[in-house]
Amino acid sequence: MGLVQQKRQSAGDRPLALVFKGREFSAEEIGLIREVVTSCGGLSRQELASTMCELLEWRRPGGGLKWIEARELLAKLEAEGLVTLPPLVATKPRGTRTSVPRTDRGARQEAVKGTVGDVKPVVLRQVTSESERLLWRELVGRYHYLGHKVPFGAHVRYLVEASRPSRLVLGCVQLSSPAWKMAPRDQWIGWSDEVRRRNLQLIVSNSRFLLLPWVEVRNLASTVLALVSRQVADDWEGRYGVRPVLLETLVDERRFSGTCYLAANWIPLGVTQGRGRMDRACTLQGANPKRIFVYPLHRHARQRLCRVES
């Protein structure tokens, strides 16, 4: 079942439980999910997912519903023929490329040169308004080699701004949900698979980092990473009710050396298997390996990640 692991009775084929992203759902809970889907035919998939979370008390530590995970579980159950969901609404699925606006705000500007001292203080402004979202999407879509994609799960975005000689956008940063499994990272932490499933939400991934191509400011990249390390825990906790203890990122060494991460005291751990997030069938082994870097946000990050709360 991919992400879903089924436990079955030894004498039959009836599912006893489903284990999905660290939570076990009993046969009774599966029955309740099926009953909700059947009896609430007028609800959208989003509404079904929220209803399911409410009934099963499937929440994040801060109290928010795990509706993203619930929608994924519903889709898996439908693929197994256990439920029939209402048709999808015509929206962009997560992880797909979206249209990128092309406006004067995102056009190439005059070169910005010098040192961090010439533009400081450098500020990370969290993207919250529609205008900021459109600008962030345009800049990343036009100038980041991976382009703009709808992120998976939780995420926080920033615009990097200079304060001198005038307020000016220098780049973009995105923090999002971490990789489900990476051997070098998991070995460095020292956790078991069960503990990883429980505590993975304490890791945040730096999934986009862009300094605009006309910006040539010495030491700016490491300065921005230092700002991220100081600011992200508060911002992430404020939005999702979870305080992360570790940052991670992947660097494509065919394009970048990762020098800025080393300068900002990130720890290199090794190389991924090169499969990517969506290669469930393991068909892309070694296709695009990337260097893993991590940055502890807590002095005892590894111990905290290995802790099992009672």
> How far is residue 267's CA from residue 11's CA, in Å, rounded to a whole number?
50
Task: Provide, rounded to the nearest whole percent, the portion of the chain with pLDDT above 90.
Answer: 43
Question: Do 230 and 149 share a structural domain?
Answer: yes
pLDDT tens string 165-191: 889 999 999 998 888 889 999 999 999
- Domain total for the chain? 2
Strand order in the sheet with 267-271: 123-126, 155-162, 168-176, 203-211, 246-251, 291-296, 267-271
User: For position 132, what pLDDT does the model report?
Assistant: 94
Question: Do 72 and 182 share a structural domain?
Answer: no
| Residue 155, CB-side half-sphere exposure with 13 Å CA sphere | 20
DSSP 106: G
The dihedral sign for the CA sequence 75, 78, 82, 83: positive
Question: Do 124 and 224 share a structural domain?
Answer: yes
Residue 292 lies in a domain: yes
**E-assigned strand segments in 4-136:** 4-8, 15-20, 23-26, 112-115, 123-126
Question: Do 292 and 149 share a structural domain?
Answer: yes
Contact 204, 236 (CB under 8 A): yes
Q: Residue 86 CA to chain centroid, in angstroms? A: 27
Residue 94 lies in a domain: no
User: For position 42, what pLDDT does the model report?
Assistant: 61
| Residue 191, CB-side half-sphere exposure with 13 Å CA sphere | 22
pTM over 0.75: no
Cα 120–123–127 angle (5° rounding)? 155
Residue 53 lies in a domain: yes
User: For position 97, what pLDDT does the model report?
Assistant: 56
Question: Do 124 and 187 share a structural domain?
Answer: yes
Neighbours of 217 (CB within 10 A): 22
pLDDT tens string 38-78: 766 566 788 788 888 877 888 888 777 788 888 889 988 88
Q: Which of 29, 64, 79 is the endpoint of a domain?
A: 79
Residue 238 lies in a domain: yes
Whose tokens are 């499933």? That residue is: 197
Question: Do 280 and 138 share a structural domain?
Answer: yes
Task: Record the tokens describing residue 61, joined without a space.
Answer: 């530590």
Question: Do 120 and 38 share a structural domain?
Answer: no
Domain that holds residue 26: 4-79
Question: Between the CA of residue 275 and those of 29, 154, 280, 283, 285, what are the distances in Å?
Answer: 34, 22, 9, 8, 5
Question: Do 214 and 269 share a structural domain?
Answer: yes
User: For position 278, what pLDDT does the model report?
Assistant: 37
> How far is residue 146's CA from residue 208's CA, in Å, rounded to a whole number?
8
> How far is residue 207's CA from residue 6's CA, in Å, rounded to a whole number?
31
Residue 192 lies in a domain: yes
Neighbours of 21 (CB within 10 A): 15
Residues of the chain with pLDDT under 50: 1-15, 277-285
> How far is residue 64's CA from residue 59's CA, in Å, rounded to a whole number?
5
User: For position 55, what pLDDT does the model report?
Assistant: 77
Which CATH number belongs to the domain containing residue 266 in this structure?
Answer: 3.40.630.30
